[in-house]
Structure 1
């Protein structure tokens, strides 16, 4: 795997990091697999970092600095490349979503961020940050709304969303906010051919994702990855065997969920219930 020759190192901090990593590696006379063997990462990870397709990690940059004899050069560039509007633990996953050809999501109690309305996102943000200043809340909401533009990109990913039946019943922000959110989700599902929404009913019983949410991202030219998230933290999973375990569990969740047609009816029904005094 090699870095594209037309990568512009001055496009952004991550591209400059990739160009510098490649320059240092070649100056040391190493192939892409050699530094990976010394810092216990794959050749594909080095390739993805050099092509600016992966967000660099500080611990890996520290190890690469040692191997390549570059002092703290890559560590400093890594800190620049990690700058993001979103929470640090979510930043890499947010960037990977922009590159994914398929995004599969499961959420137990909430509507996926890419499909949230502004009022719903604001209610969630206020609940998560009850002591934050109003301008901080609005900053988080703006960032979340900006991310929804992914669905309107020239080549949007296939987005397959599974939500538990509890999510359309939880009155986030009150009845009016929930009615608007569920109507929006139903309308988006009906209007977008690359969006599939399924509701996992209570009757499905226990399942692997009872304790949280997860997002599976698949790419045309890179290994799949999974992002899992809790209230104030998240984790990007890239180990192939574990990613495959998540993918298999997600396939089972889709299999026992309501059909897309029945799911759409359930969302419309729930929206009407919230709209009824």
Structure 2
């Protein structure tokens, strides 16, 4: 049907055999069209847009639980989509940790991504050497091939910065210790900092630095990512070493939003922060160690 529901438009069928999300999406589209509803009509009354639902039908996006409940209610499918949306979410895609799957998908569709990383550079900003060091430190017994698979998966995520049409607005607040406390040899640390500076110079990211001497500030003990979307409610992702939690409760999301904004007020300006990053990269390149700004 057209978006207004006036007439039937013949389209290429969706191949539901290619994946679990594809099968789920094909069933969703079949049920929607059998009910004579357009994408726009089916999402009416939900917090989601028709393109979000279209992505689900094509198997490119997972069904949020609240949207599955809405679809079941409108289509009268007796809880089918709610019962099976978690099965679809558990269908692993690639070498990322299972708890990260929802975030991996969300990054691709985000309108904005804002991160606070007090201990490590965010995955989207890491070089191969930096990512490899972190993976090996977290999983010391594993084989090199396994490490390389994880590293390449992380680098693939960062390709969104090279896609002009889909690049989200990205803001990264970083702690000063990431510049001064090296976890790699000097040349590799220079390359890591050069990567961040290069993205900032290309206006793909906005970095800010929080100094050690800033005193107490919000989110001191948390690593947080806040994502907003054109046609879906915002998400917060909080991560620990071997686990992660995706938060969509509106009250909690609002609390994280306010805390992140207060943290931004504590950090140095983007211009001053970029100058610090470039200066630290130069120190490493010359075989030195950046000074702490105590």
Contact 2:99 2:243 in 1 (8 A): yes
- What is the distance in 1 between the residues matched to 2:81 and 2:104? 30
SS of 1:135's equivalent in the other structure is helix
Per-residue deviation, 1:28: 9.2
Per-residue deviation, 1:84: 3.4
- What is the distance in 1 between the residues matched to 2:87 and 2:23? 8
Per-residue deviation, 1:272: 2.5
Structure number with larger C-alpha Rg: 2
Are the structure 2 counterparts of residues 80 and 163 from structure 1 closer, same or farther at C-alpha, using a change threshold of 3 Å?
closer
SS of 2:206's equivalent in the other structure is strand
In the other structure, the counterpart of 1:17 is 24
Q: How does 1:155-234 map to 2 (within 5 A)?
A: 155=165, 156-190=167-201, 192-234=202-244
Are the structure 2 counterparts of residues 200 and 16 from structure 1 closer, same or farther at C-alpha, using a change threshold of 3 Å?
same
SS of 1:68's equivalent in the other structure is coil
Contact 1:108 1:164 in 2 (8 A): yes
Contact 1:216 1:226 in 2 (8 A): yes
Per-residue deviation, 1:7: 9.3
- What is the distance in 2 between the residues matched to 1:77 and 1:233? 20
Contact 1:7 1:51 in 2 (8 A): no
1:125 aligns with 2:130: no
Q: How does 1:26-45 map to 2 (within 5 A)?
A: 43-44=46-47
Are the structure 2 counterparts of residues 88 and 174 from structure 1 closer, same or farther at C-alpha, using a change threshold of 3 Å?
same
- What is the distance in 1 between the residues matched to 2:145 and 2:82? 36
Are the structure 2 counterparts of residues 7 and 215 from structure 1 closer, same or farther at C-alpha, using a change threshold of 3 Å?
farther
Which range moves more in the overlay, 44-53 or 113-122? 44-53
In the other structure, the counterpart of 1:36 is none
Per-residue deviation, 1:55: 2.1
1:110 to 96, 110, 120: 120
In the other structure, the counterpart of 2:42 is none
- What is the distance in 2 between the residues matched to 1:160 and 1:8? 39
How many residues get paired?
267
Are the structure 2 counterparts of residues 128 and 16 from structure 1 closer, same or farther at C-alpha, using a change threshold of 3 Å?
same
Contact 1:105 1:214 in 2 (8 A): yes
1:93 aligns with 2:103: yes
Per-residue deviation, 1:71: 11
Contact 1:25 1:68 in 2 (8 A): no
Q: TM-score, normalised by structure 1?
A: 0.80
In the other structure, the counterpart of 2:157 is 147
Per-residue deviation, 1:68: 2.3
- What is the distance in 2 between the residues matched to 1:263 and 1:151? 20
Per-residue deviation, 1:81: 4.3
- What is the distance in 2 between the residues matched to 1:202 and 1:256? 11
The alignment yields a C-alpha RMSD, in angstroms, of: 3.7
1:55 aligns with 2:62: yes
Contact 1:19 1:50 in 2 (8 A): no
1:131-157 superposed Cα distances (whole Å, 9 cap, x missing partner): 111111111011111111110113211
Which range moves more in the overlay, 257-266 or 17-26? 17-26
In the other structure, the counterpart of 1:38 is none
Per-residue deviation, 1:29: 11
Are the structure 2 counterparts of residues 77 and 23 from structure 1 closer, same or farther at C-alpha, using a change threshold of 3 Å?
farther
